[in-house]
């Protein structure tokens, strides 16, 4: 029978008798692989407005997140959070940020701009470094400044090529970086925090979906059977990788997560170019080359020494 182990913050993680580092690796790897193929799923529903898809992602994530909490016996943490105005306020803010991130991501894939979403998630760790310097007063080394400078040059190249800022990439990177930054302030575990976020978003999402169905423009009750199935599948497609990542991050070193976080955007990039056949100009190639170089520097600083082990 599978058992659970306890992390330092009281978060239970399924174990099954496997070493913590190995469990964390497989949890995190599964999450990144699922995120990597997510564009294939989103393409199946690209005829549905992005806001409607996000609403269903939220709604059908609630029962999955609730089931995980019940299975782990962590419902008391959520009940306690309801009594803390600060925790609820922070959860509402992180919920709003992840909703913005999801909406831009879904829309961008639907309109054949998947390459830009990949770039956004490549830029995300560098954006986090900048936030640490700006908001936490962290000093940047020369290597860090070089990495950030290369990323900035890449943005300039894309701006000159397209005649405007690569706002999709920057918005995705910024929203997820700020989300991760604020998410650390929630005094509860990852699965509890995720449940709290989707629960707060569930009521407006439900009202929106009901309004669409009454108006006759929804794709759930009045759509094709395949649409109904895909809307329901939005829940596990959203909740499962997030929960797996939360469990994995608790059992792995930051250095390991630092290297693994490039799996998903690399898969997204390959799917965009070779499956969706999106254009990849010489300007984009130059920009990506600069970003990849910057990430190599970043990874060397933060992630190279040891891949496995408990933090």
234 within 8 A of 62, measured Cβ to Cβ: no
Main-chain phi, psi angles of 302, to 5 degrees? -100, -25
Contacts of 272-278 with C-beta under 8 Å, sequence gap 24+, read 272/39, 272/114, 272/115, 272/117, 272/118, 273/115, 275/40, 276/39, 276/43, 276/112, 276/114, 278/112, 278/113, 278/114, 278/115
Q: Report if residue 97 sits inside a domain.
A: yes
How far apart CA 219 and CA 222 sit, in angstroms, is 6
Size (the chain), residues: 311
Give the confidence band of 204 by pLDDT, cuts at 50, 70, 90: very high
109 within 8 A of 42, measured Cβ to Cβ: yes
Residue 15 confidence (pLDDT): 54
Owning domain of residue 193: 20-302
**Pick from 112-116, 155-159, 251-255: least confident:** 251-255
Q: Is 203 exposed, middle or buried (0-12, 13-18, 19+ CB in 10 A)?
A: exposed
Residue 107 scores a pLDDT above 90: yes
Q: Report if residue 183 sits inside a domain.
A: yes
Q: Torsion-angle region of residue 141: left (phi > 0), alpha (psi -120 to 50) or beta?
A: beta
Q: Report if residue 309 sits inside a domain.
A: no
pLDDT for 221-273, tens place per residue? 876 888 899 999 999 999 999 889 888 877 777 667 767 888 999 999 999 99
pTM of the model: 0.85
Q: Report if residue 141 sits inside a domain.
A: yes
Q: Report if residue 116 sits inside a domain.
A: yes
Q: Tokens in use for 138? A: 């962290």
176 within 8 A of 124, measured Cβ to Cβ: yes
Q: Report if residue 156 sits inside a domain.
A: yes
How far apart CA 152 and CA 158 sit, in angstroms, is 10
How far apart CA 108 and CA 39 sit, in angstroms, is 10
The number of folded domains in the chain is 1
pLDDT for 274-311, tens place per residue? 999 999 999 999 999 999 998 888 777 665 544 444 44
Residue 3 confidence (pLDDT): 42
Residue 45 confidence (pLDDT): 92
**Pick from 26-40, 130-144, 216-230: least confident:** 130-144
66 within 8 A of 195, measured Cβ to Cβ: yes
Q: Report if residue 271 sits inside a domain.
A: yes
Q: Report if residue 5 sits inside a domain.
A: no
Residue 255 confidence (pLDDT): 60
Mean pLDDT computed over every residue of the chain: 86
pLDDT for 184-203, tens place per residue? 778 888 889 999 999 999 99
């Amino acid at each position: 029978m599978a058992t659970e182990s306890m992390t330092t913050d009281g978060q239970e993680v399924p174990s099954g008798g496997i070493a913590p580092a190995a469990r964390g690796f497989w949890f995190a790897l599964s999450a990144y692989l699922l995120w990597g193929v997510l564009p294939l799923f989103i393409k199946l529903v690209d005829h549905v407005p992005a806001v409607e898809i996000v609403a269903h992602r939220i709604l059908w994530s609630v029962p999955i997140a609730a089931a995980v909490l019940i299975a782990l016996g962590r419902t008391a943490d959520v009940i306690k959070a309801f009594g803390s105005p600060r925790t609820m306020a922070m959860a509402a803010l992180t919920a709003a940020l992840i909703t913005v991130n999801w909406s831009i991501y879904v829309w961008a894939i639907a309109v054949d701009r998947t390459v830009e979403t990949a770039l956004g998630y490549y830029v995300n760790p560098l954006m986090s470094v900048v936030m640490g310097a700006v908001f936490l007063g962290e000093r940047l080394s020369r290597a860090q400044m070089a990495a950030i400078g290369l990323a900035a040059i890449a943005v300039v190249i894309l701006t000159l090529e397209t005649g405007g800022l690569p706002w999709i990439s920057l918005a995705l990177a910024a929203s997820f970086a700020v989300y991760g930054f604020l998410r650390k302030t929630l005094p509860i575990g990852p699965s509890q925090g995720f449940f709290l976020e989707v629960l707060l978003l569930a009521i407006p999402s439900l009202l929106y979906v009901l309004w669409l169905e009454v108006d006759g423009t929804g794709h759930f009750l009045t759509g094709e059977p395949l649409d109904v199935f895909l809307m329901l599948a939005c829940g596990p497609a959203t909740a499962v990788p997030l929960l797996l990542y939360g469990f994995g991050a608790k059992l792995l070193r930051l250095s390991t997560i630092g290297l693994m976080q490039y799996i998903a955007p690399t898969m997204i990039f390959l799917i965009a170019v070779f499956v969706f056949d999106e254009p990849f100009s010489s300007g984009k190639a130059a920009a990506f080359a600069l970003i990849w170089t910057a990430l190599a520097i970043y990874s060397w600083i933060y992630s190279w020494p040891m891949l496995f082990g408990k933090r």
